[in-house]
Structure 1
């Protein structure tokens, strides 16, 4: 069967480097949340507005808003012409690729081909590779930022993009800020290599400020990192400078508020957050941070005995405010794990087990996320099942799920600790409990201690002869020993 002109055009489009060929697709990102975040970055003077317009065009096209996508690309093109007069063509490769794809989706094949022709002319002197694209720092940088803004699961890929860009252009402040941002985030995840070594983001953030002393986002991020390193004096100065330079940029103010929350200054944190959320009402991050501040203010009030009317009113007000902001954080970004886990803990603290159960039931179904997120879900949901619901079977199943994910996070180690505690207590009172024996066999198996694993699976089978799981594990272990 011969290919149609549309099929042949699609083959060319697939060679492009742009948002339509990069990893994040409709199924893996929260489109509505992404649109709000990109619009905020444009509205509040983000220095990489062309990048945001490009990504917004992609999101609009995915949602069937092709005319809006074209307008977004026109804005991106206008900004690139203004900011990169002598290097416009190099910086327009991603934009022109997006143009070609949007026109293709609109059925305007001739226009799509015209952008491919432009790309061929631009890229020919820049590369010996594909005809319609060139892997130059500008393209790597835009891909890196696109991945950073999409979802946490793409951070490692984003880091590689920025590294490749900086190999060819070491003083590219856009890409230095990009790698600083992605390292800052990776360093906060338990279990990543970046978390286990000395912070690399600090040196990159300092480099950004050397090249661009007015970069308030870099100031705020560096302030937070230095706070973690107990360099409070410099950290405080940087945060104050960042807020002074960008008092109306929610992206800066939110980090400053996080700094003050960690310092224990809840009033200052809430003051900043409420100003920011008035400007960016759909921000999951801002609503989550307000809820966490209110929860910190609430905890001492929960210890006050009933009967004190002022304390009761204050407590009721904080509970309502906290719940409201947790609900909004969850509503605005259903795929954000941490706010929902914190909301569930808040519900448990208040004894609202049905709401906590609803949240955990939603979270345990999420699979397309970072491994440490899955492990945190397993740990918290498992603890809820064990201590509040008294369901040992469900709890053990969740702890094992967290342990089986081979990602050395704090949550994984806690899952293992919970399993050991449960097994030891169970076998102390019921030495012949087949489930406890089988769980101990599973722990040894995951630790690589095959002989101990076989011993415990055999013991478990003495009291549960037909258990398929134990028989299967035993057969696999025996086979591996022979091999």
Structure 2
């Protein structure tokens, strides 16, 4: 191939709509974790044949970046095969993305004639549908939305916009409704779960268009319970569990539902059963850790013996530690693990983990408010460093004062202010200025 031909080929490749052109930056991705999650999707057949084709497509891209181009080729060819099987005659638009990935992969493997062959297939599809650019078809926009959603939480807002565009063209498509519900559930605050919230409305629509999707039912059940709609939530939870009694992705939400609303032992039993099916699930380990934390808190409130509390806390730490080991950078689990080390009296280990988590959370811009609150409490009550505590309470409050964590920080600062006011003369305003000075002198 001449240099002129090579430039022309590369220029055409850059115009394609596929994973290789969607700016899925490697620095934003945890490829090993992504690979594990995608492989679990295949193992548990999540999403049926439609989901399987999407997963094979993504696996091809991930395998290429992990240095296994031949494995990537196999997965992309499987994607084409499954798509043709379930779409039958109406599959052309659904093949735009996998053909684009295959063209790029063959180019990178220096198989230029095969690359040209896939480009020719895409040109044929474009000629068949001349009224719009390939990237404007809802089949392509929706595939892009799923990729953005699955690959990194940094892309959630972009995924949301893509799902909305896809649904404008096909409002009843089950896959786009499902994906839009998932991404809204991740984006919308858990503390704003009203019965008429956008997330609950979309979850209802997604369940309507995906009546056999038990994961959607379990998520909707949890959301309804958070908005005090307990009876409907419990009914959906039982329906989801009956339909998918061994699916970890369903049991994870059902377990969370049961833990949040009083059935902690039943939640532990379900989650342990799920762990047998999916032993490398960081999320299930995380939920188990939170269950044991709940039991520990309950026993402390009842004034039970310290030995039982210690046993339960050890279980909590074990599962949280496994969660962070299986999913490096799991900020929420790392934060809770640091808190539990603090509760266990291992202050140096807790401080070290807090510092690691702060660095990761700032890089990912994830979980910072809750982390600031817990670290401030650690500094105030364990390290007895009031200036540092004030610094992080203020950081927490700055993010959003109307959330639960924001309100807790405001309450802590108010109590500190009251204590300082009672010890020395000066107006409340003077004391608030003093708090800010202390925080500034302590540094972030």
Same fold (TM over 0.5): yes
Of 322, 333, 340 in structure 1, the residue corresponding to residue 327 of structure 2 is 333
Partners of 1:123 and 1:409 in 2: CA distance: 49
Q: For 1:175 and 1:75, how far apart are their aligned partners in 2? A: 22
- Contact 1:6–1:109 at 8 Å: present in 2 too? no
Q: Using the alignment, how far apart are the partners of 2:234 and 2:211 within structure 1?
A: 17
* Alignment match, 2:55: 52
Once the two structures are superposed, the pairs formed by residues 205-284 of structure 1 within 5 Å of their partners are 205-284=203-282
Matched residues in 2 for 1:281 and 1:14: separation? 40
Distance in 2 between the 1:213 and 1:297 partners?
35
Q: How does 1:29-428 map to 2 (within 5 A)?
A: 29-47=29-47, 48-126=51-129, 133-188=134-189, 198-302=196-300, 312=307, 314-366=308-360, 367-370=362-365, 373-405=367-399, 409-412=403-406, 414-415=408-409, 418-419=412-413, 422=416
C-alpha distance 188-127 of structure 1, shift in aligned 2 (>3 A): farther
Query: 1:303 & 1:413 partners in 2: Cα distance?
Result: 23
CA RMSD of aligned residues (A): 3.2
Q: Distance in 2 between matches of 1:351 and 1:176?
A: 47
Indicate if the aligned counterparts of 2:218 and 2:250 stay in contact, CA closer than 8 A.
Answer: yes
Q: 1:28-56 CA distances to partner (integer Å, 9 max, x unpaired)?
A: 12211111111111110112111111111
Aligned equivalents of 1:55 and 1:271: distance in 2?
A: 33
Structure 2 Cα separation of the partners of residues 232 and 279 of structure 1: 29
Answer 1 or 2: higher relative contact order, Cα 8 Å, separation at least 6.
1
Structure 1 residues 196 and 13 mapped into 2: Cα distance closer, same or farther (>3 Å)?
Answer: farther
The equivalent residue for 2:11 is 11
Looking at structure 1, the residues matched to 81 and 184 of structure 2 have their Cα atoms a distance apart, in angstroms, of: 31
Question: What secondary structure sits across from 2:89 in the alignment?
Answer: helix
- Contact 2:200 2:223 (8 Å CA) reproduced: yes
Runs of at least 5 residues in structure 1 that lack an aligned partner in the other structure = 444-459, 461-466, 470-483
Q: Map Cα deviations across residues 202-234 of structure 1 (whole Å, 9 max, x no partner).
A: 333333333332221222122112212222222
What is the CA deviation profile of residues 266-287 of structure 1, one whole-angstrom value per residue up to 9, with x for unaligned ones?
1211111111111111111100
**Is this contact kept in 2: 1:186–1:195, CA < 8 A?**
no
Aligned mates of 1:300, 1:441 — CA distance in 2: 39
- The verdict on how the C-alpha distance between 1:222 and 1:303 changes in structure 2, with shifts beyond 3 A counting, is closer
Q: Quick one: structure 1 residues 298 and 115, their matched pair in 2 at CA, closer, same or farther if it must change by over 3 Å?
A: same
Instruction: Give the total of aligned pairs.
Output: 435
What secondary structure sits across from 1:281 in the alignment? coil
Q: Compute the TM-score of the two structures, normalised by the length of structure 2.
A: 0.87
Unmatched 5+ residue regions in structure 2? Answer: none
Mapped partners of 2:404, 2:297: distance in 1: 25
Matches of 1:290 and 1:377 in 2, distance apart?
A: 20
Distance 1:37 1:15, change over 3 A: same
- Cα distance between partner residues in 1 of 2:5 and 2:316: 57
